[in-house]
Amino acid sequence: MDLGLKGKKALVTGSTKGIGRAIVETLLAEGASVAICARNAEEVATAVAELSKKGKVVGSAVDAGDPEALRAWVASSAEQLGGIDIYVHNTSGKPARKLEGWINNFNIDLMALVHGVDAATEALSNGGGSVISIGTTATTEHFASGSGSYSALKSAVTNWTLGQAQVLGAKGIRCNVVSPGPIMVEGGDWAMIKQAMPPFFEATEKGHPGGSLGDVGDVANTVVFLSSDRAKHINGVNVTVDGGFLKRIDF
């Protein structure tokens, strides 16, 4: 299926590795041009060099928790690419329990989304556009051990994004959330759990009807489809990508 993304311009935050990197690679494969950002300048430069072999990519080192820096990146990316059609919010802090960590993650997880979308809205509304936030299935569960700031802030990200579907929908901008379940990411949490806690990892695998965790491509493919005009009537939804791991009814 041709998703009709050739010539489209996309901005993806937190995109030098993991799920963000996979989203960029999938967008490039569909013919889109992409702007990336992350905090580490060296990693951004390396990613731009590697990804540029697959299509047009520009990138900058940006602290997403710094509103002025993030807004400047959105503006410069729009200028470099010639507009914005797709905005993917993929920044997230590690779970925090101390107050300082909560404040830091509040800025990275939630306020970076608010500032980024606000900065991109004018460009997105020029021809209609798509905003996608990366959530998590952890927002639908509570844990005896607690998850610190992670689930709480991802819940806020999900709620705000879906609310914007009503606000920005009038401007032709669709807003959706993609919430991964356990996903195997190279160097990520589940890769470490597999090495350090084999019984727990195996039990998690068995909790999936298909017997295995998802991979970054499963998430990226969903994001890119929702970004396209093939999903033009999908707005204000939270799409779970977990292989049936969660057992619940969605009303």
For the cut 60, the answer to whether the pLDDT of residue 33 exceeds it is: yes
- pLDDT for position 236: 98
Could you give the residue ranges of the DSSP H alpha helices within 86-181? 99-105, 112-125, 149-168
- Lowest-pLDDT choice from 79-83, 188-192, 212-216: 188-192
Q: How far apart are CA 96 and CA 152, in angstroms?
A: 11
Superfamily classification of domain 9-182+223-238: NAD(P)-binding Rossmann-like Domain (3.40.50.720)
Residue 94 DSSP label? P
- pLDDT for position 145: 55
Percent of the chain with pLDDT over 70: 97
The residue-averaged pLDDT of 37-44 equals 98
- pLDDT for position 98: 85
Domain residue ranges in the chain: 9-182+223-238
Q: Measure the CA dihedral 163/168/174/180, to 10°.
A: -30
pTM above 0.85, yes or no: yes
> Can you say whether the dihedral through the CA atoms of 212, 215, 217, 223 is positive or negative?
positive
- pLDDT for position 99: 85
Which has more confidence, 127 or 13?
13
Q: How far apart are CA 191 and CA 197, in angstroms?
A: 10
> Residue 238 corresponds to which amino acid?
N
